């Protein structure tokens, strides 16, 4: 496994604005952690199957009926918004 990473690029992907100091310390931490998880590369696996499962009991996920059920009201759903107007979320412009 390779441990080459560009901390600025990862931070951009994760939408987190990091200070120079954070970039240094997190870069160092990630190197140490990745070095440890590299132990996995030596693992000889019985199966080469790469299953994406989200349930350790391997429950098969079922689609729900398309039914109207009780849920949050509009006011409740927007009650924690940092900024809202006329029942809508308000955000800064997407482009300058």
List of residues contacting other proteins (CB under 8 A): 1-2, 5, 7, 10-11, 13-19, 22, 25-26, 29-30, 32-34, 36-41, 43, 45-57, 59, 61-62, 64, 72, 76-83, 89, 91-96
CB of 85 to other proteins, least distance (A): 13
Chain centre distance of CA 63: 24
CB of 47 to other proteins, least distance (A): 7
Distance set, CA 46 to CA 13, 39, 50, 54, 55 (Å): 34, 16, 11, 20, 20
CA angle (21, 5, 3) in 5-degree steps: 115
CB of 39 to other proteins, least distance (A): 5
């Amino acid at each position: 496994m390779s441990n080459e990473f560009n901390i600025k690029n990862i931070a951009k992907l994760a939408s987190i604005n990091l200070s120079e100091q954070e970039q240094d310390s997190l870069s160092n931490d990630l190197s140490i952690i990745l070095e440890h998880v590299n132990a996995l590369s030596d693992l000889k696996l019985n199966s080469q199957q790469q299953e994406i499962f989200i349930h350790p009991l391997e429950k098969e996920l079922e689609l729900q009926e398309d039914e109207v059920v009780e849920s949050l009201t509009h006011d409740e759903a927007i009650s924690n918004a940092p900024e809202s107007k006329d029942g809508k979320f308000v955000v800064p412009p997407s482009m300058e």
